[in-house]
């Protein structure tokens, strides 16, 4: 049975199975699988011959096989448009795991230069449907127009935003690969070798050099203005302060002649005279 096929009696048979090894979600009788005639069940995914029919692989009684029923708890279904190149040439099928790549052009707000880069937007995303087909057993590859993914709410927001600001591409993963790789944005400069890539990379570098040149020029202009201001102040002539000279007649100071006096001193019966200077 394939996705959407009605579960019919001719597609089922009972087989012996050890009771202690019974798969979780299996049925014990055909009637449990078929349900009521007015409330049939449908296959939610491809079921191979001899494969046990489990509750996770078919709908509930009376339910239709829709993508909403195939979603895990808390997951969302989001569709994006692709072409034959971006969609891995039609080889992406339901239940495959893919990486979603975002190609966009980023403009430098300072230099105005544009640079193209590719980022890994999501990794290991499950494909629910291709176009309007959810049958994973479709053998022939075909060019598709839309791919529907099972994603979380945050991943749904990133997918929607990426589809509006750039171009989304798909990279098919190994079915057993569940690892998350450390990635980085890839630009034209990473391609190398080609003259066009070298020219674009040079243009990107020129934008950075132009910014540095403008910054250095501005610093030089500021310093030049300050030096000119200092130089102009130094060139201002210094005004000499005039000092008024007052002439005065200075009379010479003559030395004072000492004045002397004679003093008589009696020494017993003899009078002696001594000459002494007077204090002026």
Query: Averaged over 111-140, what is the pLDDT?
Result: 77
Task: Render the burial of 88-106: b for 16+ CB within 10 Å, e for the rest.
Answer: beeebbbbbbbbbbbbeee
Mark 46-62 as b/e (b = at least 16 C-beta within 10 Å). bbeeeeebeeebbbeee
35 pLDDT above the threshold of 90: no
In the chain, the number of structural domains is 3
Pair (13, 91) in one structural domain = no
What distance separates the 2 farthest-apart alpha carbons in the chain? 185
Q: What is the pLDDT of residue 52?
A: 87
The two structure tokens encoding residue 130: 């291709």
The CA–CA distances, whole Å, from 161 to 88, 92, 102, 168, 271 equal 22, 22, 10, 10, 140
Nearest of 121, 200, 211, 135 to residue 168 by alpha carbon: 121
Instruction: Compute CA 144 distance to the chain's CA centroid, rounded to the nearest angstrom.
Output: 32
State the Cα–Cα distance between residues 77 and 128, nearest whole angstrom: 8
Structure tokens at 33: 């699988």
- Quote the radius of gyration of the chain (alpha carbons, Å): 52
Q: Categorise residue 168: left if φ over 0, alpha if ψ from -120 to 50, beta otherwise.
A: beta
- Name the domain boundary from 32, 48, 65: 65
Cα(58)–Cα(257) distance, integer angstroms: 148
Quick one: 30 and 110 in the same domain? no
Q: What is the pLDDT of residues 193-245, one digit of tens each?
A: 555 555 555 555 555 556 666 776 777 777 777 777 766 766 666 666 666 77
- Residues 124/57, Cβ–Cβ less than 8 Å: no
Look at residue 37 and tell me if it is in a domain: yes
pLDDT digits (tens, 9 = 90+) for 60-109: 777 766 666 667 788 888 888 876 545 566 678 888 899 999 999 888 77
pTM of the predicted structure, to 2 decimals = 0.51
18 lies in the same domain as 78: no
Q: Does residue 140 share a domain with residue 200?
A: no
Which residues form the domain of 31?
A: 1-65
């Amino acid at each position: 049975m394939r996705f959407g096929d009605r579960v019919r009696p001719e597609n089922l048979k009972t087989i012996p199975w050890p009771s202690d090894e019974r798969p979780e979600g299996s049925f014990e009788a055909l009637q449990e699988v078929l349900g009521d005639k007015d409330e049939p069940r449908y296959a939610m995914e491809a079921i191979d011959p001899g494969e046990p029919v489990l509750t996770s692989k078919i709908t509930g009684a009376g339910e239709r096989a829709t993508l909403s029923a195939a979603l895990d708890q808390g997951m969302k279904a989001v569709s994006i448009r692709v072409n034959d190149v971006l969609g891995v040439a039609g080889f992406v099928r339901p239940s495959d795991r893919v990486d979603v790549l975002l190609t966009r052009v980023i403009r430098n707000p300072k230099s105005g230069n544009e640079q193209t880069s590719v980022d890994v937007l999501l990794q290991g995303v499950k494909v629910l449907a291709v176009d309007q087909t959810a049958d994973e057993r479709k053998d022939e590859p075909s060019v598709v127009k839309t791919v529907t993914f099972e994603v979380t709410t945050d991943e749904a927001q990133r997918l929607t935003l990426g589809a509006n600001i750039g171009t989304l591409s798909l990279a098919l993963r190994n079915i057993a690969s569940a690892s998350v790789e450390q990635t980085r944005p890839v630009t034209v400069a990473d391609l190398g070798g080609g003259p066009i890539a070298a020219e674009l990379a040079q243009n990107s570098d020129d934008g950075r050099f132009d910014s540095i040149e403008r910054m250095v020029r501005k610093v030089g202009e500021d310093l030049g203005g300050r030096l000119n201001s200092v130089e102009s102040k130094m060139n201002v002539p210094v005004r000499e302060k005039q000092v008024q000279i007052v002439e005065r007649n200075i009379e010479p100071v003559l030395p004072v002649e000492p004045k002397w006096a004679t003093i008589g001193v009696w020494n017993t019966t003899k009078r002696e005279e001594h000459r002494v200077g007077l204090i002026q």
